[in-house]
Amino acid sequence: MPKSGSTAKISRRTALAGLSAGAALLAMPRLGRAADETIRIGFPTPLTGPFAAEARDQVKCAELAVKLVNDKGGIGGRKVELLVRDDKLNAGEAATRTLELIEKDKVHAVVGALSSAVQLAVNEVTRARGVIYVSISQSDTINEAKDFSKYTFHEALNPHMTTSAVARQTLKKGMKVAHLVADYAYGHEMLRGFKRAQATIGADNVGEILHPFGAADYSTFMPRLMSMRPDVLCISNFGRDQANAIKQAVDFGVKQQMKIVVPVILHNQRLAVGPDVFEGVVGGANYYWGLETQSKTAADFNAAFKAANAGAIPTDYGAYGYSGVGSLLAAMQTAGGTDTDKVVDALEKLQYDLTKGPQHYRKCDHQSVQSVLVLESKKKSAMANDNDLFAILANDAGSDDMLRSCSELGHAT
Amino acid sequence: MDLSLIIMQLLSGIALGAVLVITALGLTIVFGMLGVVNFAHGALFMIGAYAGLYLASLTGSFWWGLLLAPILMGAFGMLIEFVLIRRLYGRSIDDPLLLTFGLSYILVEGVRIVFGSDGIPFPTPPQLIGVLDLGIGFFPRYRLFVIALVAVVLLLLWLALEKTRIGLIVRAGARDPMIMQVLGVDIGRVWLAIFGLGVGLAALGGVLAGPMRSVNPEMGSLVLAEAFVVTVIGGLGSIVGAVVAGLMVGISISLVALFAPEMATIVMFALMAVVLLIRPQGLFGVRGRTT
C-alpha cells in the first residue's frame, strides 16, 4: 500500500497529518528508529463481551510466547512486540482495528480473533494487504478455497475435527440425537460436523433448534427438546452461551433423560457455572493443563505460564494464543526476519511442538494438523483440587485423516 | 404438537415474563413518579445479583441474600437519588438520562475491577433444585418459585399503593407534586423512597435471575433492553402496563420459540413496533404526558 505522502494528490488534511507526524518523529528520533527494529504482531481479540474470559487468556498466553522469545534475545536480535486490540466481537470493528494495525502500526503479521465471523473479517483485510494472518478461531471457512490465500493460516482446531472426535466417543449406531445450535457460522459449522459424524456412525437426527446468538435465556427451547426424546443432546454454542444453555438444560432435568455433549468444552465456562452443572458433559478441546502427565511439552508450557501468571494454569483458548503466536515466531526465526514470502514458506515447512505434541500446517489449506482431546467434566467429589476439572477420555493424535480433504475444500490437488 | 408441550411452553414463558415484570416494574415506577429514565437500571440489576450472591455466601443461605440484597440495594438507590439524581429534577429529561447512563458504566466497570469479568457460579438454593412433576411434564422447581414470589411481590406492591396512606401520597405526588407540597407533604422524601424502591426491585430481579443465568458484569445490559421494551409496550409509568406487557413478552418469546426458534428474540421488538403503531402511548400509557 502506498503511504499517504506518496499519492499524487495530497489533500490538505493529509498534508497536515503528515506534517504533524513528521514533527512528532523529529521530536522523538530515538523512538522512531527503535520501532523500525521491533517485530510487531497485531492481536485482535474480543476483550469485551461474552467471550471476554477466553480472550483475556489468549492475550496472557500470546504475551508469554512473545516474552519467551524476547528473553532469548528476540529474532535476529530484534525484539518482538504484541499489539493487542479489542475487536469487541464485531466484524466491522475487527476489520477497522486490523486495518489500523497494518497501516498505522505497521505490524508484520496478525494473530488472533476468536469468533468465526470476526475471523472472516480479519482475513479479508490481511488477505487484501498481503499480511500473514494466523487465525485462532474455531471455524474453518477461511481454509476453504474461496476465502483462502497463501497468507492465511489456521492454528485452531476446526469444527470437523472436534465434532468427529466427540461423536466417536459418545455416539453409537441407532442413537437418537437432538441439537441446540447458536444461529451463526460457528454453530452452523459444528452442526454440519456433528451431522456428518452421525451419518458415519449411523445415529439418527431427531431435531435441531437454532437459538439467537448471545441469548440469556434458553428455557423456552427446553420443553421442545425434551419432547424429541433424544439419547444425546448436542449443544453447539460458545462462551457464555454455553454456560447458560447447559445450566438451564440441567435445571429442566435434561440430564436425567439424555447425555449432553458439546463440540468444544470450555474451561472458563465450566468455572463460571460450577461442577454440579457440568458433571458428565463431554466435549472436545485443543488443550487441557492435565495433559502434563502425558506430555513433556504440556508440562513445560504449564510451568512457564504459572511462572508468568502467579501460579495460574493456562486454559484451552489461552493455549491457542500461545501456539498461534509461538508458531509464527518460530517461522520468523527460521526465515531470519519478517519477509512475508520467506515466513510463509517457513510456516508451511514448520514442524512445531509448543503445548501438546507435534503440529504442522497442511500445505494445501494451512490448517494445523494436531491432536484432539475429548474431555469429560468431573463430578465435584472426584476433583483432586480446584483446577482438576476434566478427565481425558481420548487424545487422538494429529493426522490428515481427521481433516476434510483438500479437494473437498475446493483446493487444487 | 400435543397440548402438554404447549402448556409447558406457556409456563416457561410465564417464568421468563416474571423476571421481566419485576425488572420493568422498577424502571416504570421511577419514570412514572419521578420522570427519570433510569439507564443504570440494568447495572443495578447486575449488582443486585452480585450482592445477593455475596450475601448468600456470607450467611450461607440463599434466602438471606434474597431478602437483604434488595433492601441494601434500595438504600444504595436512595443514596444515588440523594447525591446525584436530586440535583437534576426540573431540568430536561435528558440530564438524568445521561447521568444514569454514565453511572451504569461506572458501576459495571467497578464490578469488573472487584469481581473480574468472568462469570461467577450462583448455585440454585438446595430446596429448589430439580424438577417438579406436573403430570404433563417436568418443570424446574426454581422457576415455579420465581413465578410465585413475583406474584406475591406484585400483590404486596398493589396493596401498598392502593390501600395505605403512603400509597395515597405517592399516587397523588405523581399527579401533582406542587399541591402535595402545599398540603405540607415533604415530596422530596417521597421521591427518595420511590427511587429506592425502583432500585430494590431491580436488585430483586437480579437475585432471582442469578441461579438461572450466569452472573457476570454484562448481564444487566441485555436485561435493560428487555425492561425498556416491556415498559414501552405497557406504557411508560404504568404499573399494570409493566405487569401485562412483561407476561405478554415472555409468553410471545416462548410460543415463537416453539415454532420459529430463530425469531425468539426479535418477536419482542416486533411486538413493540406493532403496539407503538396502534397505541403510541403503550397499552396502558397516558397520552400526552409531559415531564
Query: What does the pLDDT look like over A335-346, one tens digit per residue?
Result: 999 999 999 999
Q: Is B74 on the interface with A (CB under 8 A)?
A: no
Contact A243 B261 (CB under 8 A): no
Residue in the block written with cell 486490540: A85
Residue A12: the pLDDT is 58
Residue type, A81: E
Percentage above 70 pLDDT, chain B: 98
Q: Does residue B124 belong to the interface with chain A, where contact is any CB pair within 8 Å?
A: yes
3-class DSSP assignment, residue A333: helix
Task: Report B:208-267 residues touching A (Cβ under 8 A).
Answer: 212-214, 216, 218-219, 222-223, 253-254, 257-258, 261-262, 264-266
Q: Does B34 touch chain A if contact means CB atoms closer than 8 Å?
A: no
Q: Do B262 and A212 touch (CB under 8 A)?
A: yes
Nearest-Cα distance to chain B for A47, in Å, is: 10
pLDDT at A139: 83
Facing residue for B264 by CB, picked from A50, A212, A223: A212
Which SS3 state, helix, strand or coil, does residue A36 take? helix
Give the pLDDT band (50/70/90) at residue A9.
low
- Give me the mean pLDDT over the A25-50 stretch: 71
pLDDT grade, residue A52 (50/70/90)?
confident
Given this model, what pLDDT does residue A122 score? 96
How far is Cα B156 from Cα A116, in angstroms, rounded to an integer?
49
pLDDT at residue number A16: 56
What tens digit of pLDDT does each residue of A73-123 get?
999 899 999 999 999 999 999 999 999 999 999 999 999 999 888 999 999
DSSP string, chain B: --HHHHHHHHHHHHHHHHHHHHHHHHHHHHHHHH----TTHHHHHHHHHHHHHHHHHHHT-HHHHHHHHHHHHHHHHHHHHHHTGGGGTTS-THHHHHHHHHHHHHHHHHHHHHH-SS-B--PPPGGG-SEEE-SSSEEEHHHHHHHHHHHHHHHHHHHHHHHSHHHHHHHHHHH-HHHHHHTT--HHHHHHHHHHHHHHHHHHHHHHHTTTS-B-TTHHHHHHHHHHHHHHHH-TT-HHHHHHHHHHHHHHHHHHHHH-GGGTTHHHHHHHHHHHHH-TT-TTPPTT---
End-to-end, the C-alpha distance of chain A in Å comes to 32
Q: Do A253 and B253 touch (CB under 8 A)?
A: no
What is the average pLDDT across A240-245?
92
CA-closest candidate to residue B219, choices A271, A211, A238, A241:
A241
Least confident of A299-303, B32-36, B43-47, B239-243: B32-36
Determine, for residues A215 and B12 on separate chains, whether the beta-carbon distance falls below 8 Å. no
- Yes or no, beta carbons of B254 and A276 under 8 Å apart: no
Per the CB < 8 A criterion, the answer to whether A42 and A105 are in contact is yes
- Are the C-beta atoms of residues A262 and A236 closer than 8 Å to each other? yes
In this predicted structure, what is the pLDDT of residue A33? Answer: 44
pLDDT band at A6 (very low <50, low <70, confident <90, very high): very low
Query: B190 CB contacts (<8 Å, ≥6 apart)?
Result: B33, B169, B170, B173, B180
Contact B121 A274 (CB under 8 A): yes
Burial class (CB in 10 A: 0-12, 13-18, 19+), A254: buried
Contact list in A for residue B140 (CB cut-off 8 A) is 219, 251-253
The identity of residue A261, as a single letter, is V
Assess whether pLDDT exceeds 80 at residue B183.
yes
At B261, give phi and psi (nearest 5°): -55, -30
Neighbours of A409 (CB within 10 A): 20
User: Whose CA is closest to A241, among A115, A118, A362, A152?
Assistant: A115
Average pLDDT over residues B232-245: 91
> Do A349 and A342 contact (CB within 8 A), yes or no?
no
Three-class HEC string of A39-77: EEEEEEECCCCCCHHHHHHHHHHHHHHHHHHHHCCCECC
Name the closest residue on chain B to residue A269, using Cα atoms.
B119
* Nearest Cα residue to A321 out of A70, A73, A140, A82: A82
Q: Report the pLDDT averaged over residues B89-116.
A: 91
Q: Tell which residue, A178, A208, A220, has the closest CA to residue B6.
A: A220
Contact state of A220 with B13 under an 8 Å Cβ cutoff = yes
Name the nearest CA neighbour of A266 among A143, A114, A69, A369.
A114
Within 8 A of B133 by CB-CB distance, chain A residues are none
pLDDT digits (tens, 9 = 90+) for B49-86: 999 999 999 999 999 999 999 999 999 999 999 999 99
What angle, rounded to 10 degrees, do the helices at A116-129 and A185-201 form?
110
Distance from C-alpha of A84 to C-alpha of A386, rounded to nearest angstrom: 30
Residue A254 and residue A228: Cα distance in Å, rounded?
Answer: 11
**What is the pLDDT at residue A32?**
43
Say yes or no for a CB contact (<8 Å) between A276 and B123: yes
Task: Please report, as a single letter, which amino acid is at residue B47.
Answer: I
- Give me the pLDDT at residue A100, please: 97
Confidence of residue B181 (pLDDT cuts 50, 70, 90): confident
Give the A:B interface size as CB pairs under 8 Å.
106
Q: Given a cut of 70, is residue A38 above it in pLDDT?
A: yes
A125/A138: higher pLDDT:
A125
Give which of A49, A137, A126, A43 is closest to A90, Cα–Cα. A49
C-alpha–C-alpha distance, residues B152 and A326, integer Å: 58
Burial of residue A119 (number of CB atoms within 10 Å: 0-12, 13-18, 19+): buried
For B192-222, what is each residue's pLDDT tens digit?
A: 999 999 999 999 999 999 999 879 898 998 8
Q: What is the pLDDT of residue B290?
A: 45
pLDDT band at A239 (very low <50, low <70, confident <90, very high): confident
Model-level ipTM above the cut of 0.90: no
Facing residue for A272 by CB, picked from B119, B123, B258: B119
Per-residue confidence at A13, pLDDT binned at 50, 70, 90?
low
Using one digit for the tens of pLDDT, what is the confidence trace for A256-290? 999 999 999 999 999 988 899 999 999 999 999 99
**Partner residue facing A53 (CB), from B118, B138, B142:** B118
pTM over 0.90: no
Between chains, do A252 and B262 touch, taking CB under 8 Å as contact?
no
**Helix B187-209 with B41-59: angle, nearest 10 deg:** 70
| Alpha carbon distance B193, B169 (integer Å) | 12
C-alpha R_g of chain A: 22
Res. A30 pLDDT band, cuts 50 70 90: very low
Does position B286 have pLDDT exceeding 80, yes or no? Answer: no
pLDDT bucket at A235, cuts 50 / 70 / 90 = very high
pLDDT above 90 covers a percentage of chain A that reads 78
Band of residue A50 on the pLDDT scale cut at 50, 70, 90: confident
**CB A35, CB A83: distance < 8 Å:** no
* pLDDT greater than 90 at residue A382: yes
B16 close to A220: Cβ distance less than 8 angstroms: yes
Q: What does the pLDDT read at residue A15? A: 58
The pLDDT score that the predictor gives to residue A35 is 45
> How do residues B252-275 score in pLDDT, each as one tens digit?
999 999 888 888 888 999 999 999
Q: Which H/E stretch holds residue A392? A: strand A390-396
